[in-house]
Amino acid sequence: MSRVSLKTLMEHALEQKYAVGYFESWNLESAIAVVRAAENVKSPVIIGVCGTYIGEPMRKYKESLTVYQAMLSQIAKEAKVPVALLLNESDDEEMVIQAAENGFDMVMYAPVFATEEVPFDELTKIQKRIVEKAHKNGTAVEGEVGELPLYNSATGKLHEGEDTDPELCAEFVKETGIDTVAVSVGNCHLKEDGMVTINYDALKILAERIDIPLVLHGGTSIAREDLGKAAAMGVAKVNFGTGMKRAVLNTVKKYLAEHEIDQMDPNDVLGRGGEKDLLVLEQEAVISYVEETIRAMNGENKAF
C-alpha cells in the first residue's frame, strides 16, 4: 500500500483513535525524510507543500507547483506505508483548483497569512466553488473555521486568533461540503514551544457537533501529551512544519560550529550521501522529529 485517499486515511484514524500527521516539506530531502520516518514507525502519513509559500508573491524565484506535485507523487508511489498528498493553505483559488485537478489527494484554500480578512460569506462562496471542482476529481478539501493565533518568532509578537464557533462551523461544513475542518482551540500557528493550552471542553463540543474529521494546525505549538489526548477525542489530522525546520536549522548550526568547512571537500558536505553530508544530517533531523511526533499521536504501527 502506498498512495491512499484522504477519506480512507481519516476514517482509519478515527476508528483506531490516532491522528495522522501532515508534515510539510519544502524540498526533496524533507519530503523523503518524512516518508522514511513514517516507514520506520509503520505509520500512515500525509506529505505536501504550503501553497502560500510556493505562491508567495515576494518569492524571489517563481515556483512550479507541477514540479512539486510530480516529486511528491513519486515519493508516495514508492513508499511502504499509506501516503496521501496535500496542497496546504493556499490563498490562491486558481492554484488550489489546479492542484485538485492535477492529482493532489487533498487541497486547502486558506488565507492564513493574508493581511485582510476574507469575509465569512465570501469564504463560503470560494470554498463551495473549490469543493465542487475538487470532488469531481475525487480530491478532498479541507476548510477552516475560526482563526489560529499567529506567532512571529523573529519579533516575538502574537497576532490574536479567534476560537472556532461550533454552530458557525457546523453551518460552514454543511454549506460548503468540505471533507475535513481545521479548528482553533488554543493551538497556534508558527509557535515552537509546545506550551499552548488546548481547550478540551471546546474540542469536545466540536467533536460532538461536527460530523467530519477535525484537524489541528500549528502542531509544533502543542505539547506531545496533548497530541495523543486530542487524537483520542476525534482529531484525525495534525499539521506540522515549523518544528521540522527548527530541527534542521539546529543541525546546520551545530555542523558549522563543529567543522572547518573551508578545509572539506564540498562533495563530502553536499550530495555524496555519506556520514558528513549535511543533507543526510538534515534528513536525519527531520526523521527523528517526525518519528517522535507520530508516536505522540499514537500513529505507530497503524500502517495498513
**Residue 83: all three cell numbers together:** 501516503
d(C-alpha 45, C-alpha 55), whole Å: 24
Separation between Cα atoms, residue 155 and residue 170, nearest integer Å: 36
Closer of 283 and 293 to Zn ion (Cβ):
293
- Reduced to 3 states (helix: H, G, I; strand: E, B; else coil), residue 42 is coil
Q: Report the distance separating Cα 225 and Cα 184, nearest Å.
A: 18
Q: Which stretch binds Zn ion (CB under 5 A): 5-13, 17-25, 55-63, 217-225?
A: 217-225
* Stretch of 14-22, 99-107, 209-217, 265-273 contacting Zn ion, by CB under 5 A: 209-217
Residues binding Zn ion: number (CB under 5 A): 1
- For Zn ion, the closer CB: 111 or 234: 111
Closest CB to Zn ion among 203 and 303?
Answer: 203
Query: Using the rule CB under 5 A, is 237 a contact of Zn ion?
Result: no
Which residue's CB atom is positioned nearest to Zn ion? 217
Q: Contact between 217 and Zn ion (CB under 5 A)?
A: yes
- Measured CA to CA, the distance from residue 37 to residue 290 in angstroms comes to 6
Q: CA–CA separation, 281 vs 153, rounded Å?
A: 24
Residue with cell 502506498: 2
- Residue number, 43 or 239, with CB nearest to Zn ion: 239
x/- string (CB under 5 A) for Zn ion, residues 163-202? ----------------------------------------
Distance CA 22, CA 34 (A): 9
Can you list the alpha helix ranges (DSSP code H) found in 56-165?
Answer: 65-78, 93-101, 120-136
Nearest distance from residue 274's CB to Zn ion, in Å?
36
**DSSP state letter for 165:** P
Find the shortest distance in angstroms from Cβ 301 to Zn ion. Answer: 27
Nearest distance from residue 144's CB to Zn ion, in Å? 8
Cβ 217 to Zn ion, closest distance in Å? 3
214 contacts 236 by C-beta, under 8 angstroms: yes
Candidate ranges 11-19, 101-109, 213-221, 273-281; the one touching Zn ion (CB under 5 A): 213-221
Evaluate whether 81 touches 45 at the Cβ level (below 8 Å): yes
Nearer to Zn ion, 10 or 216 (CB): 216
Binding range to Zn ion, per CB under 5 A, among 92-100, 199-207, 216-224, 277-285: 216-224
9: left (phi over 0), alpha (psi -120 to 50) or beta: alpha
Q: Give yes or no for a contact between 82 and 44, defined as CB atoms under 8 angstroms apart.
A: yes
CB of 214 to Zn ion, least distance (A): 14
Q: Which is nearer to Zn ion, 22 or 278 (CB)?
A: 22
Q: Which residues bind Zn ion (CB under 5 A)?
A: 217
